[in-house]
Each structure stands twice: as C-alpha cells, then as structure tokens.
Amino acid sequence: MKKKYLVTGGAGFIGSHLTEKLLREGNKVTIIDDLSTGNLKNLEEYKGDENLEIVIDSILNDSLMKKLISETDEVFHLASSVGVELIMKNPIHTIENIFMGTAVVFKHASKYRKKVLLTSTSEVYGKSLDVPFREDGDRVEGPTTINRWAYANAKSLDEFLALAYFQTSKLPVVIVRLFNTVGPRQSGDYGMVIPKMINAGLKNKNIQVYGDGLQTRCFCHVKDVINALCSLMKTKDSFGEVINVGSDNEISMFKLAELVSQSLNNNSKISIIPYEEVYPNGGFEDMKRRVPSIDKIDNLINWKPTILLEEIVKDVIKYQKSQSK
C-alpha cells in the first residue's frame, strides 16, 4: 500500500535522494526544508510532480509541523545542522536547530501516533577508542569548551528523547547513526571531505588534508544508505533501537587524497594543513578512527554496503563535472 511521508530536510543531500526513492515507489511525499544547507535544485527532476509537496520553512514552526505530521503516515526526520565547518562557525544554531527541532517533531508524532525514523550521527561516539563502534558501547565526549562536541551532544539528546518516547508511550521510533555518507549533490562547502577534495582537484588546486592525515574514516554511498533507512522503517524489530548505518571499509585521509588524485588523473598535489591553521581560534578536536560495527543492521535487515569507495569517488567526480558545464 502506498503511503504519505514527511521528510524533514528533504531538499538536502541525503533527504533529496530519499525523497526521490519514495516518489519512484509511487508514494506521496511532503518535504520541509529551510534551505540553510538544502537546495531545491536537488529535486529539480520532480518539480511539478503531483505527489511531491515542498514546504520552505523551519521545523521550529510548531503549528506548521503539527499540521504536516497530522496529515502524514510516517516521518523521516533528517533536518539538522551538517558539516564540521558549519558547526564550528555557528554552535548556537547547531544546538537550537537540532534539539529544539527534534522536540517539535516528537511532540506531534506522539500525539498523532506517527512512526518516526531519526537520523543521528557517528559523532556521538566521540573520542572512544573502542573500535569498531558498537551501538551499546560507551561514548567518550570532549569538554564543553570545545565547540566540536556541541553537535555530538545535541544529537545524543535527540536519541535520548526518541528513546524516551518509545519507552514511555511505545511510539514506533527508529534511530540510525549515520557514518560518513557520500554521493552526488553533497556539497564541500560545510567541510564534507570527499566533495571538497574533488572540487579542489578539478580546479587544479592542492588537495588539502587536515591534521597529520593518519586519521581514518569509512565512506558509504548515499544509495546504500537510503536503502537501509527505508528497510529499517519497515522492520518492526528496529523500533526502539539504535542502529549504525555505514561502511566498515577504513581509509586514512592521506590515502583518500591519493585516491582522489589518482581518480582525477590530473597530477593533483596533496598538502598537509595543521589543524591550528584551519581553526586558528581553537575549539576543535578530531577522532583518530571512526569505524562502525554493522553486525546489528546486518542481523536486522541483511544489509551491507554494495558500492566500493573507488566507485563512490568516481560518481562524485562525474557529478561535479556535470555541474560545472
């Protein structure tokens, strides 16, 4: 049976891909996005589609959210501040937009008994060295004097709130901790590393690697991620659970820069930039490794990433070249 979905942050990178998938499956979709980081160009292909409603507003608009949630079947709550650079520059907006917005979503979802999938983040694991990160593992956060941790703690509060609604009223809630998600439409403007590296290389600028370049991350294609989100939303055993979604294929930032340079095939040079130069006012700490355990999601929905990192990089290069024409 076809459904009506509300996607908060639906004009964003992940939100727009999710919206497309839901529309392709014949569903009706309403998106709400304040366009602070989203872009309506991401949904250009569906402009005028009778099954798509676009609302340009903030999820902090309580009366509007009440109306939208009451009229929908299920909610994908993706709206959030994104990117380390944006979060470092505007911690107040980060905290208010994330937690207060999520409080509005759950207040009305609870009243109208609507299923909610909440996207959280691997940032909540903080500086933990217990790799791979398991959903029931301890979190190790930095001090409140370091702006970097504002995002992680705001998203942690989101998770606590969602779980509280599940535990007290059995509201069907799914919490996913997204690890680094990459693909077409992702902007490098907010510190997203792969599109930023590719953008620099395409402009024949040095590909910059922050810190010592030894820190590692795992990258998953957005197509794999949205397939996971949709499957988890349909799986009752995922209600009231926190679930990692991401690749467990680990690579250092320096090796990633080398891969981007090789994929561009234009002899892009790599430069190492100390964090002190990138963030001269301080307030930044990095995680040396960020690797998920994906045993839980594999057990729940038999999911593993299917798209290799080399293909992801080529896909983003192809997209960025198409946008520069």
Q: Where are the alpha helices (DSSP H) in the chain?
A: 13-24, 62-70, 84-89, 91-95, 101-112, 148-169, 193-202, 222-233, 253-264, 275-278, 295-301, 309-323
| Residues 267 and 202: beta-carbon distance below 8 Å | no
Alpha-carbon distances, residue 167 vs 46, 119, 240 (angstroms) = 38, 18, 8
Return the DSSP state at 242.
E
| Residues 186 and 13: beta-carbon distance below 8 Å | yes
Strand partners, 130: none
Q: Which of 5, 125, 151, 210 is catalytic?
A: 151
Residue linked to tokens 């990089």: 313
Has 151 been annotated as catalytic?
yes
| Residues 3 and 27: beta-carbon distance below 8 Å | yes
d(C-alpha 45, C-alpha 16), whole Å: 11
d(C-alpha 49, C-alpha 180), whole Å: 31
CA–chain centroid gap for 149, Å, is 16
Supply the residues annotated as catalytic. 151
